[in-house]
Amino acid sequence: MDKIKMTTPLVEMDGDEMTRILWQQIKDELILPFVDLKTEYYDLGLPVRDETSDQITKDAGEAIKKYGVGVKCATITPNAQRMDEYKLHEMWKSPNGTIRAILDGTVFRAPITIDKISPVVKNWKKPITVARHAYGDLYKGTEYRVPEKGQAKLSFKGENGDAFDEVIYDFECPGIIQGIYNKDSSIESFAHSCFKYAIETKQDLWFSAKDTISKKYDMRFRDVFQEVYETTYKEEFDKLGLTYFYTLIDDAIARVIRSEGGFIWALKNYDGDVMSDLVSTAFGSLAMMTSVLCSPDGNFEFEAAHGTVTRHYYKYLEGEETSTNPMATIFAWSGALKKRGELDGLKELEVFGEKLEEACIDTLNEGIMTKDLVGLVEDGSATAVLTKDFIAAIRERLEKKLA
Ligand code: NAP
Ligand code: MG
């Protein structure tokens, strides 16, 4: 069989620990035998990030901007313990944060669902995609521990003379205050990414916040979404029979739980952080969550939602064979290859991505799975296998599909 040709390189970003091992296995067994793989390789493993003073991460982000599609392995975000473990020169920032800042994108997370594992919420039939605004709010807030009696104020001084100065609270005792912000430009990009992704995946879009209480802050988000929808996307939504609606977050939660799934739920930064964990847990496993960063100008970065699975890596270093789930990382590759195929008009590459995903799902539905999933199969019709045997089972099914 001739290998499938590519015309534009994928931006390939290698990573750390157990997922770095999975990365190589996936390439060797499931991609390289079938695809004449063209990538521009960036090693985002912590040692190279340290050697290059993290320049490698910035270069990778710029490369995604140049080529349009990237695929990323999970990476360590250093903390004090990692400084020691890797003898780092600096506590480098999260690569995901750095790349997101370059691409200005929104992260969409969706579970891979299979028949054998039913979600905790019985009526969920289709995946729910959570779109989290990954900028500002609590994550860029300023906080102060009020130590004594005194007055707290919110003030603003505009370049052209606009001014605001209002009492937040007259403290009669110690307490706490917090200041958060967001920018119209960032909220607009968030909205554009969400509408674009909804059109691309042909799913309805919901947006929820707390505008009844936060009449300026959350209301601004609501208004921006409505404006962007009406001026840019309404026509296309109507044509495709898609719906956009805003609802109060309380109401959204009730609706999400009662729904069948199959839509995109856009949320502010904190709400998205918390709700994406809730949705992934209710669907089954973190190891089955896919994640794609979409920028408002149409660039894509595919990855798994989970981390580098450190505990398994330490076992691997001791010579133990692990049963680590490669699903989300395989889907990062298939997603990236499908997108490259679509952008370059390479039908064969797109079909390859689809078949790879089918082979994975077939393997799971036949009861061959990694340890983390076996416990979730209620009828006990599944067997835990090692990662290498799981990947071999996928390869066997993939070869049949491609023959
Ligand atoms: P993690 O790597 O996601 O692992 C947490 C636990 O979840 C694991 O110990 C494992 O449970 C289970 N798990 C996650 N993925 C799995 C898989 N594919 N197969 C089987 N089990 C899986 O999160 P963490 O331990 O908090 O973080 C480890 C490192 O990853 C940190 O250095 C962090 O900075 C980094 N991180 C990177 C990203 C990213 O690059 N996107 C995201 C999150 C975290 P058991 O041990 O019980 O089997
Ligand atoms: Mg979280």
Per residue in 217-246, pLDDT (tens digit) is 999 999 999 999 999 999 999 999 999 999
Q: Show Cβ contacts of residue 218 under 8 Å, excluding neighbours closer than 6 positions.
A: 209, 210, 211, 268
Rounded Cα–Cα distance for residues 187 and 269 (Å) = 11
Quote the pLDDT of residue 190: 95
Rounded Cα–Cα distance for residues 308 and 319 (Å) = 18
Residue 353 CB neighbour total at 10 angstroms: 21
Quote the pLDDT of residue 284: 81
Rounded Cα–Cα distance for residues 283 and 311 (Å) = 23
Please tell me the pTM assigned to this model. 0.90
Residue 287 is which amino acid?
A: A
Rounded Cα–Cα distance for residues 163 and 175 (Å) = 26
Query: Is the CB of 307 inside a 6 Å radius of any atom of ligand 1?
Result: yes
DSSP category for residue 94: P
Rounded Cα–Cα distance for residues 341 and 337 (Å) = 6
- E-strand stretches of 44-134: 69-72, 106-111, 129-132
* CA 275 to centroid of ligand 2, rounded, Å: 8
The ligand whose atoms approach the alpha carbon of 304 most closely is 1
Rounded Cα–Cα distance for residues 100 and 139 (Å) = 14
- E-strand stretches of 173-230: 175-179, 204-209
- Report the DSSP beta bridge partners of residue 99: none
Tokens at 188, concatenated: 């607009």
Query: Is the CB of 76 inside a 6 Å radius of any atom of ligand 1?
Result: yes
Long-range contacts of 245-248 (CB under 8 A, 24+ apart): 245/204, 245/205, 245/206, 245/207, 246/206, 246/207, 246/208, 246/209, 246/222, 247/206, 247/207, 247/208, 248/208, 248/209, 248/210, 248/211, 248/212
Query: Is the CB of 21 inside a 6 Å radius of any atom of ligand 1?
Result: no
* CA 110 to centroid of ligand 2, rounded, Å: 14
Query: Is the CB of 232 inside a 6 Å radius of any atom of ligand 1?
Result: no
* CA 322 to centroid of ligand 1, rounded, Å: 14
Digitized pLDDT (tens) for each residue of the chain, 403 residues in all = 789 999 999 999 999 999 999 999 999 999 999 999 999 999 999 999 999 999 999 999 999 999 999 999 999 999 999 999 999 999 999 999 899 889 887 999 999 999 888 899 999 999 999 999 988 898 888 999 999 999 999 999 999 999 999 999 999 999 999 999 999 999 999 999 999 999 999 999 999 999 999 999 999 999 999 999 999 999 999 999 999 999 999 999 999 999 999 999 999 999 998 898 899 889 888 899 999 999 888 899 999 999 999 999 999 999 999 999 999 999 999 999 999 999 999 999 999 999 999 999 999 999 999 999 998 998 888 999 999 999 999 999 999 999 9
Rounded Cα–Cα distance for residues 272 and 137 (Å) = 12
Sorted by where each starts, the structural domains of the chain and their CATH numbers stand as 1-116+297-403 (3.40.718.10), 118-137+182-283 (3.90.190), 142-179 (no CATH)
Q: Tell which one of 22, 26, 291, 310 to mutate to probe ligand 1, the residue whose CB is within 8 A of the most ligand atoms.
A: 310
DSSP category for residue 166: E
- DSSP output for 287-309: GGEEEEEE-TTS-EEEEESS---
Strand pairing report for 150-157 and 163-171: antiparallel
The ligand whose atoms approach the alpha carbon of 270 most closely is 2
Query: Is the CB of 325 inside a 6 Å radius of any atom of ligand 1?
Result: yes
CB-proximal residues (5 Å) to ion ligand 2:
273, 277
Tokens at 97, concatenated: 């944060």
